[in-house]
């Protein structure tokens, strides 16, 4: 009977414990009201938009074609070989002079095409069509000139000029698309043509698709914001994101999209529409971000409020969410571990806001991000927070050609070298150097040890908590 | 005598004929009453009680129209006939260069409107004293403009060529109701949204909507009051204003009433 008397308080305790064990302060799950249709696709291993593969690093280079007294500019896709550090045009068509749109690496100078390296050695070219009225106006203007021989000869003289205008018209008539250039530089094929008017800005990619965001309308007052998945099999899917007026895509993690949600105590968009620009820009300067993990298949959202109050989110690198902590005019670059929920400071600066662009590592997860420290470009190592200025990176090279300086680290090769990009005030095009990566195997090991220690600490805290919870009922 | 009797018979005969005819309507009424009274009739559309909406309130109608037309305007549509919101919208000048220099009457109007907010329990006296002190200290000029829907904007700057805006107030010119107030001051003072916002609802005569609640689960949980019936959001917030002046960190107070159509969890 005595045992039965204990049962009542015990059940009450269980009930109260259940009531108290609400979701943690950092993450709550809810279903997004804006997810109208469940996605039929899944998020793969997401990564930023990288431009290097085992064969080299790819970029666009500026070229000029002469036509009478006028030069006509265009871009070519080039590859910097890791073996030779020489830059070559990614076109091996026999006899190609690489100065017309027939060249597989040719890009119209007025576009901002994104070059993405594939593991198989091929290259993807994403072309985003002009969204606004200016694109249509440009098209009409070029067409008028082309149809008026006198005006054409005056503004764009010679056959080269006519070809340039025609190329611009062709480009402006294209919707957004994804092309693939084969690894041997012999073919360029159209993989995907996006629907008319769907012109996303790319954010990230996985093995099978590219992901971006469409913002229709002007910058501050976009009326229609949604996500786009561009399948490399040609399938294009649009998807809604929760609270689209204040949310954008940051990347992906663990089968979910990582969204950056802007938080403000006032509806800033309405404030802008009221014409209260003082208030709008003051709030923009003070706003802060939350990380939302969004499952497009179910519409579920895990809202993560970071331990720091005023933050700007930058990037997802592996399990780490890189963000900036703003505190009384000081900025600290921090890493939040999405797996463990722990945050740590990497480096601090006081001059201007930091940034964090991951340096692609062809051997695995990135070791470095390019950030700003006291107004200068700085390379930050993610496990230790060690930093290298551009000059310090240059000192790693045996010799730097006179007049050149390190601009940034481009990527880390699979065999542990950093490819550095060097610019000069005298030359338009950069040169490239390879230096050993400053990450040592010991530092890698230290990183793993620190993670294991963190997990053990967490397990110990959990065990202590469980023991403490058992005490009253015993 | 005989003639009179005959007339009497004729009258009686007529009466006998008329009285039943006169009773026909009574009979008809009795029959129809019997058919209608006490019978159960099913209604095609069920009764729904009248719930006030934002459209029932002039102020909210104006704000909805303003925001809708402003969206379209920003996206290149000067004239719109879509979705029941028709017209052309001109926002009116927002910077002192395009606004009208306010005379003493307009400055007095500004002060009276702000005093109404203080008296109504919306704006704490300390905030009003703070901004008034700075206005007086700088002899701060005030400018005004109106948009095409009749919203009056009053802005007070530190000086004639200054970009530091001490006050930006928007008032519906027909009703005199304040729909937005922005104050940038050197010192921050307390304001409790839980007190200020219900008072503002009452002052703007929007309490008839009957469902103003804290918008739980939104970014405005600490700063807002939301009406689902009115599809409207009021916010009250303070914070650091690092935009208005590069030389010093100022403090802001923001009061804003606007349309809000997103779903809010209870």
pLDDT digits (tens, 9 = 90+) for A229-288: 999 999 999 999 999 989 999 999 999 999 999 999 999 999 999 999 999 999 988 888
Q: Do A265 and B265 touch (CB under 8 A)?
A: no
B114 in contact with A at a CB cutoff of 8 Å?
no
Residue A368 has pLDDT above 90, yes or no: yes
Average pLDDT (B94-98) is 90
Q: Do B168 and A263 touch (CB under 8 A)?
A: no
DSSP string, A160-208: HHHHHHHHHHHHHH---EEEEE-TTSS-EEEEEEPPTT--PEEEEE-SS
- What mean pLDDT is reported for chain A? 84
- Which of A83-97, A146-160, A349-363, B223-237 is the least confident region? A349-363
Q: Which of residues 117-136 of B touch A (CB under 8 A)?
A: none
Q: Do B67 and A276 touch (CB under 8 A)?
A: no
- What mean pLDDT is reported for chain B? 89
User: How many whole angstroms separate alpha carbon A148 and alpha carbon A156?
Assistant: 11
Does ipTM exceed 0.90? no
Of the candidates B254, B245, B247, the one whose C-alpha atom is nearest the C-alpha of residue B162 is: B245
B154 Cα to chain A: minimum distance (Å) = 11
B45 Cα to chain A: minimum distance (Å) = 30
Residue B43 has pLDDT above 80, yes or no: no
Highest mean pLDDT among A59-68, A327-336, B50-59: B50-59
Pairing label, strands A311-317, A376-381: unpaired
B75 in contact with A at a CB cutoff of 8 Å?
yes
Q: How far is CA A394 from CA A120, A397, A412, in A?
A: 31, 6, 15
Contacts of A284 in chain B (CB under 8 A): 243
| B255 alpha carbon, distance to own chain's centre | 15
The predicted structure's pLDDT at residue B44: 72
Residue pair A288/A310 in contact by the 8 Å Cβ criterion: yes
User: How many whole angstroms separate alpha carbon B131 and alpha carbon A423?
Assistant: 53
The predicted structure's pLDDT at residue A447: 52
Contacts of A278 in chain B (CB under 8 A): 165, 168, 182, 184, 243-244
A36 Cα to chain B: minimum distance (Å) = 13
Give residue ranges of A with CB < 8 Å to any B CB.
Answer: 30, 33, 133, 216-218, 220-221, 223, 243, 246, 263-267, 270-271, 273-279, 281-286
Contacts of B258 in chain A (CB under 8 A): 267, 270-271, 274
Question: Which residue of B94, B252, B263 is in closest CB contact with A33?
Answer: B263
Q: Do B220 and A267 touch (CB under 8 A)?
A: yes
Question: Which residue of B165, B219, B256 is in closest CB contact with A270?
Answer: B256
Residue A17 has pLDDT above 90, yes or no: no
Residue A23 has pLDDT above 60, yes or no: no
Collect all residues with Cβ–Cβ distance below 8 Å to A119 and sequence separation of at least 6. Answer: A53, A54
Q: Within 10 Å of residue A420's Cβ, how many Cβ atoms?
A: 26
Provide the b/e sequence for B192-220 (b: ≥16 CB within 10 Å).
ebeebbbebbebbebeebeebebbeebbb
Q: Do A276 and B168 touch (CB under 8 A)?
A: yes
Of the candidates A117, A200, A197, the one whose C-alpha atom is nearest the C-alpha of residue A411 is: A117
B233 in contact with A at a CB cutoff of 8 Å?
yes
B92 in contact with A at a CB cutoff of 8 Å?
yes
Q: Token pair of B126, please? A: 């300390």
Q: Do A282 and B184 touch (CB under 8 A)?
A: yes
Contacts of B254 in chain A (CB under 8 A): 265-266, 271, 279, 283
Highest mean pLDDT among A8-22, A121-135, A350-364: A121-135
Task: Identify which has the larger pLDDT, B25 or A52.
Answer: A52
**Predicted confidence (pLDDT) per residue in B117-151, tens digit:** 999 999 999 999 999 999 999 999 999 999 999 99
B240 in contact with A at a CB cutoff of 8 Å?
yes
Average pLDDT (A152-168) is 90
- Which of A304-318, B58-72, B108-122 is the least confident region? A304-318
Contacts of B257 in chain A (CB under 8 A): none
Q: Do B71 and A223 touch (CB under 8 A)?
A: yes
Give percent above pLDDT 90 in chain A: 58
**Predicted confidence (pLDDT) per residue in B172-186, tens digit:** 999 999 999 999 999
Residue pair B225/A250 in contact by the 8 Å Cβ criterion: no
Task: Identify which has the larger pLDDT, A417 or A8.
Answer: A417
Of the candidates A242, A171, A213, the one whose C-alpha atom is nearest the C-alpha of residue A28 is: A242
The predicted structure's pLDDT at residue A25: 39
Of the candidates B103, B158, B105, the one whose C-alpha atom is nearest the C-alpha of residue B135 is: B158
- What chain A residue is nearest to B237 in terms of C-alpha separation? A265
Query: Any idea which residue has 């045009």 for tokens?
Result: A89
Contacts of A285 in chain B (CB under 8 A): 242-243
User: How many whole angstroms separate alpha carbon B64 and alpha carbon B85?
Assistant: 9
Average pLDDT (A185-201) is 95
Q: For residue B48, which phi and psi values (nearest 5 degrees)?
A: -125, 140
pTM metric for this prediction: 0.80
Q: Do A275 and B147 touch (CB under 8 A)?
A: yes
User: How many whole angstroms separate alpha carbon A127 and alpha carbon A139?
Assistant: 17
Residue pair A34/A243 in contact by the 8 Å Cβ criterion: yes
């Amino acid at each position: 009977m005595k045992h039965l008397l204990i049962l009542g308080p015990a059940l009450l305790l269980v009930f109260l414990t259940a009531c108290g064990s609400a979701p943690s302060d950092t993450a709550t799950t809810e279903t997004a009201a804006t997810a109208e249709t469940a996605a039929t696709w899944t998020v793969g291993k997401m990564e930023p938009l990288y431009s290097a593969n085992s064969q080299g690093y790819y970029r666009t280079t500026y070229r000029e074609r002469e036509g009478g007294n006028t030069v006509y500019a265009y871009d070519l896709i080039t590859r910097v070989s890791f073996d030779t550090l020489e830059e070559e045009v990614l076109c091996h068509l026999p006899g190609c002079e690489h100065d017309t749109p027939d060249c597989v690496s040719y890009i119209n100078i007025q576009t901002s095409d994104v070059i993405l390296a594939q593991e198989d050695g091929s290259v993807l070219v994403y072309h985003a069509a002009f969204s606004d009225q200016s694109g249509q106006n440009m098209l009409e203007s070029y067409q008028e000139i082309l149809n008026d021989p006198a005006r054409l000869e005056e503004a764009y003289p010679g056959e080269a000029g006519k070809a340039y205008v025609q190329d611009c018209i062709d480009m402006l008539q294209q919707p957004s698309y994804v092309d693939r250039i084969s690894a041997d530089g012999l073919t360029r094929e159209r993989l995907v043509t996006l629907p008319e008017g769907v012109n996303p800005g790319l954010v990230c990619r996985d093995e099978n698709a590219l992901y971006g965001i469409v913002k229709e309308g002007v910058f501050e007052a976009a009326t229609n914001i949604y996500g786009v998945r561009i399948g490399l099999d040609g399938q294009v899917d649009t998807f809604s994101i929760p609270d689209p007026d204040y949310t954008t895509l940051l990347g992906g993690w663990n089968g979910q999209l990582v969204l950056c949600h802007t938080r403000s105590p006032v509806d800033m968009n309405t404030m802008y529409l009221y014409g209260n620009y003082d208030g709008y820009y003051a709030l923009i300067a003070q706003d802060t971000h939350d990380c939302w993990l969004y499952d497009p298949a179910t519409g579920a959202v895990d809202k993560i409020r970071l331990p720091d109050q005023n933050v700007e989110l930058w990037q997802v690198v592996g399990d780490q969410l890189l963000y900036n902590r703003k505190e009384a005019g000081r900025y600290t670059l921090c890493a939040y571990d999405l797996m463990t929920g722990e945050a740590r400071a990497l480096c601090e600066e006081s001059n201007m806001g930091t940034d964090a662009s991951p340096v692609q590592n062809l051997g695995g997860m990135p070791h470095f991000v390019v950030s700003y420290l006291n107004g200068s470009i700085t390379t930050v190592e993610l496990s230790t927070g060690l930093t290298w200025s551009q000059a310090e990176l240059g000192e790693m090279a045996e010799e730097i050609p006179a007049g050149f300086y390190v601009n940034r680290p481009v990527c880390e090769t699979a065999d542990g070298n950093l490819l550095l990009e060097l610019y000069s005030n005298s030359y338009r095009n950069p040169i490239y150097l390879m230096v050993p990566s400053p990450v040592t195997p010991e530092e890698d090991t230290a990183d793993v040890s620190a993670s294991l220690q963190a997990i053990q600490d967490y397990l110990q805290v959990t065990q202590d908590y469980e023991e403490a919870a058992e005490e009253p009922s015993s | 005598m005989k003639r009179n009797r005959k007339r009497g018979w004729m009258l009686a005969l007529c009466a006998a004929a008329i009285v039943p005819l006169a009773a026909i309507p009574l009979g008809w009424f009795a029959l129809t009453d019997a058919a209608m009274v006490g019978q159960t009739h099913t209604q095609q559309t069920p009764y729904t009680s009248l719930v006030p909406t934002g459209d029932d309130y002039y102020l909210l109608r104006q704000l909805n129209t303003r925001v809708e037309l402003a969206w379209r305007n920003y996206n290149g549509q000067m004239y719109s006939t879509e979705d029941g919101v028709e017209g052309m919208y001109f926002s009116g000048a927002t910077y002192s260069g395009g606004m009208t220099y306010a005379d003493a009457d307009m400055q007095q109007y500004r002060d009276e409107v702000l005093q109404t907010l203080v008296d109504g329990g919306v704006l704490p006296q300390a905030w009003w004293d703070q901004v008034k002190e700075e206005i007086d200290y700088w002899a701060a000029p005030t400018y005004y403009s109106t948009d095409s829907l009749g919203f009056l904007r009053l802005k007070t700057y530190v000086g004639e060529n200054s970009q530091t805006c001490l006050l930006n107030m928007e008032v519906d010119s027909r009703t005199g109701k304040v729909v937005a107030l922005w104050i940038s001051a050197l010192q921050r003072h307390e304001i409790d949204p839980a007190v200020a916002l219900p008072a503002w609802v009452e002052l703007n005569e929007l309490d008839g909507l009957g469902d103003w609640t804290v918008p739980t689960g939104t970014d405005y949980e600490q700063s807002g009051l939301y009406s689902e019936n009115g599809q409207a959001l009021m916010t009250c917030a303070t914070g650091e204003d690092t935009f208005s002046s590069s030389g010093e960190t100022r403090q802001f107070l923001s009061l804003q009433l606007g349309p809000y159509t997103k779903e809010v969890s209870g």
